[in-house]
């Protein structure tokens, strides 16, 4: 009977650790998906000659610096 209790205790702790890991991975995947959707929405609104410069530091001292830049065309360069 004592060995069954020990086995059940070991399995329960392993199951709890596995469940915590699964929840953490699910949260991280959801966060990454929402981040990607946001970046996709931003880039969809850029003018055809626009660009985004990203300065991203992660693992997880998270930081995203975003700068939207309009590229100059040859015609605009000639008028200056």
First CA to last CA distance, the chain: 89
d(CA 20, CA 4): 24
Q: What is the mean pLDDT of the chain?
A: 82
Q: List the domain range (segments joined by +) for residue 30.
A: 2-79
Q: How confident is the model at residue 77 (pLDDT cuts 50, 70, 90)?
A: low
Residue count of the chain: 80
pLDDT tens, 15-52?
Answer: 999 999 999 999 999 988 998 898 888 878 877 777 77
Between 18 and 63, where is the model more confident? 18
Look at the chain and report how many structural domains it folds into. Answer: 1
């Amino acid at each position: 009977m004592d060995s069954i209790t020990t086995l059940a205790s070991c399995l329960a702790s392993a199951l709890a650790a596995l469940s915590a890991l699964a929840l953490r991975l699910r949260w991280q995947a959801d966060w990454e998906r929402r981040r990607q959707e946001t970046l996709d929405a931003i880039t969809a609104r850029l003018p055809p000659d626009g660009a985004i410069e990203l300065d991203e530091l992660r693992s997880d001292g998270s930081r995203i610096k975003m700068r939207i830049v309009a590229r100059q065309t040859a015609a605009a360069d000639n008028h200056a």
